[in-house]
Chains A and B, each alone.
Chain A
Amino acid sequence: MSKQAQHWEKTRGLLIVTLAIWFVFSIGIFLFGAEMESVGGPFGYPLTYWFTCQGSLGIFVILIFWFANRQEKIDEEFGFSEKGDD
């Protein structure tokens, strides 16, 4: 397999992991909104309420930075990263 094909395979793998996490916190947990309601969440908010106003939102921010770093590592591994600028 060529270097480029390997790079793309890893990139696609990272995409699948990223989208899976995204799916859980944007869609998956809200299938159980009513069930999570009686559970206490961080800072004493009801868990469902906390996810809608802080939890999911904050997780997305962290997820994007994590994704960006992983993708950079993949690009470097195959020598495909850009040089110089940032």
Chain B
Amino acid sequence: MIKGNFIDNLPKVYGIYTGGFLAFIIIMAIGEQMGMSAKAIGIAFVAFTVAIYAIIGYLSRTAQADAYYVAGRQVPTVFNGMATAADWMSGASFVAMAGGIYFKGYGYMALLVGWTGGYVLVASLLAPYLRKFGCYTVPDFIGTRYGGNLSRFLAVVVLTVASFTYVTAQINATGTIASVALDIPFQYAVYVGLVSILLCSMLGGMRGVTWTQVAQYIVLIIAYLLPVFWISNKMGAGFFPHFMLADEVARIADLEVQFGLGTVTNSAADLATVPKGLAGITKAHSAVNATPWAFISLALAMMMGTASLPHVMMRYFTTPSVKAARKSVGWSLFFIFLLYSSAPMLATLSKLSLIDPNLATGIIGKSISEVQAIDWYQNWNQANLMFVSDFNGNGTLELNEFFMGGKAVVLATPEIAGLPYVISGLVAAGGMAAAMSTADGLILAIANALSHDLYYKIIDPKAETAKRLVVARVLLVVIGFAGATIAAMEIQGILGSVIWAFDFAMSGLFFPLVLGVWWKRANREGAIAGMALGLASGMGYLIWVRNGGSGFLGITQLTFGIFGSAVSLVSMVVVSLITSEPDAATQKMVDEVRVPAGKSILGKH
């Protein structure tokens, strides 16, 4: 069936794969009609998709450094775009984003703008130049451009701090989904999730991760879009929700006024009875509810963080050329756009279906006892994701008496809208794919930096390829287990730690990376100061604010990277200028990086 080179056959291979996955969904739907239990469908979805990823991971096994670190630099633009989109969109994007929009409205949507706008910086400032450089890892660029072990080491430190903060959240998310779908305790489910993650990356490194990420993107985008379109059609809101929900958005705004949003508030004593982690609808759905600076500072922090996160940047090291790296950034953002532009639509449909008294699914205005008797309410109440209480004692459910967990918007809406259970199984598989693909990218980024930059470049430069790859794999497992162990302790929420990762990355890496290409005068001393002081001041600010510090300029614990990167910029420029300029060889290297043609600085491609 498949002849010739794998790369030439990619559209055919993934076309067959997509068809097979759709067929699997149909088989499950038929199974449901024939009486297959909800639990069996959930297990089948997660087990089937994870098994496919594991097979791809096994088929991609390799013993070559080039294939292990950068997938042989032959990933075509569109496929690299899909892989980057999966790498990028984490459990937080998939499960938590629509919920965040649902509860916080405009102020939260700064994240949508920030997490997409950052790609403009990636495409124009960094990706093509780092691709020309021909490095294996981000610290590889820092270490070669600025020279010296200390600069390389500091880049490894920043990368590890940022990526590790991020990865625990992703392993946590795979654990949550595995524990629900497979019905096992969370503490064990975390390790089931971890083993699934390692199956993708361990044998094939970047090559294995690339081809599983493409497969995971296909699963997650189908799992996200299918329910959105289905619910919209079922509600009669429009067959293409993105262009047709204006009336629904306006209707929600009317209902907010009618139900007294913002005027009717709950007493502290009443709120104390609401289970932890659930929130009520207290903010306007579409109206502007944040100050310009609150919105802009959050968006800016996320944009600069995007351009500094190594697991995203290293995806562009895998393209065949500089030209392809640029285009590939565009494709990445296109594939991300498909999901991100759907999240606000899902939030709108989900909210309206619950609060509109004219709809059969609406619960606001019904009697409390009636709502408490609904099947799906009981299920999600038991899962600790939904709660109603008659605070004012009038027997009727008011808007301020309804509480829900953010995750429920994605997880529960299909069921509330009356979609078959097979869709809920599909959503679980999609969430698993989103969290696994991001976790794989992150663990690989850390393990590669430690094995390539710390072990090979600093500790043992004479190590043979076979030995280097053994070290890389051992580190992969060690880091994975460390992440899973911390995830099992459940210290932070998923979304908070994701945002911190962006702030850490931008504090330490944004300016050393950008100025490395765009300012020839930047030198080793400056870069060292920029990374060390940037990360230290960002972290210091976070600790200060977390311990009751007042902060300044409206910079919060979600945007501390703005302070960190400002310190990084100033110290890097000042220290560079008071020390001597880089030697002629380094300046020539920068000139070569700026031109796409010719050999890369490192290696042979």
**How near does chain B come to A40, taking the closest CB pair, in angstroms?**
9
Q: How far is the CA of A23 from the CA of B295 in the complex (A)?
A: 14
The answer to whether B296 touches A30, judged by C-beta atoms less than 8 angstroms apart, is yes
Interface segment among B370-378, B436-444, B567-575, B592-600: the answer is B592-600
Q: Dominant SS at the A interface?
A: helix
Q: A27-B299, A31-B296, A43-B246 are in contact. Are A58 and B337 (CB under 8 A)?
A: yes
How many residues of chain B have a CB within 8 Å of chain A?
56
How does the 8 Å CB contact mask read for A48-86 relative to B, with 1 for contact and 0 for none? 110011101110110111011001100100011111011
Name the B residues within 8 Å of A46 (CB-CB): 249, 286-287
**A85-B320, A86-B324 known; A64 and B119 CB under 8 Å?**
yes
B249 and A45 form a contact (CB under 8 A): yes
Are A37 and B287 in touch, CB under 8 angstroms? yes
Chain A residue with Cβ nearest B592: A4
C-alpha gap A31/B112 in the complex (Å)? 16
Q: CB within 8 Å of A: which residues of B?
A: 77, 106, 109-110, 112-114, 116-117, 119-121, 123-125, 128, 242-247, 249-250, 286-288, 290, 292, 295-296, 299-300, 303, 320-324, 326-327, 329-330, 333-334, 337, 340-341, 343-345, 591, 594-597
Task: State which of B113, B286, B290, B326 has its C-beta within 8 Å of the C-beta of A71.
Answer: B326
**Residue A1, interface by CB 8 Å:** no
| Number of interface residues, chain A, beta carbon within 8 A | 47
A34 to chain B, nearest CB (A): 5
Residues 27-48 of A contacting B (Cβ, < 8 Å) = 27, 30-34, 37, 43-46, 48
Enumerate chain A residues within 8 angstroms of B120, measured Cβ to Cβ: 18-19, 22, 26, 60, 63-64, 67
Let me know if A8 and B594 touch, CB within 8 A: yes
CA distance A31 to B345 in the complex (A): 24
B597 touches A80 (CB 8 A): yes
Instruction: Knowing A4-B595, A60-B119, say if A85 contacts B321 (CB, 8 Å).
Output: yes
A31–B288 CA distance with the chains assembled, in angstroms? 11
Output the least CB separation between A47 and chain B (Å): 11
Chain A residues with Cβ below 8 Å from B245 are: 45
- CB closest residue in chain B, given A75: B596
Name A's B-contacting residues (CB within 8 A).
4, 7-8, 11, 14-15, 18-19, 22, 25-27, 30-34, 37, 43-46, 48-49, 52-54, 56-58, 60-61, 63-65, 67-68, 71-72, 75, 79-83, 85-86
The reply to whether A67 and B123 form a contact with Cβ atoms under 8 Å apart is yes
Give bound CA distance, A79 to B533, whole Å: 41
* Chain B residues, Cβ within 8 Å of A26: 113-114, 117, 120, 299-300, 303
Give Cα A30–Cα B300 distance, bound, in whole angstroms: 12
Known pairs A4-B594, A64-B119, A64-B326; list 10 more (Cβ under 8 Å): A19-B124, A33-B288, A33-B290, A34-B288, A46-B286, A46-B287, A65-B330, A75-B596, A80-B596, A83-B597
Assess A44 versus B295: contact at CB under 8 Å? Given A4-B595, A19-B124, A27-B300: no
A64 touches which one: B244, B329, B596 (CB < 8 A)? B329
Chain A residues, CB < 8 A from B247: 44
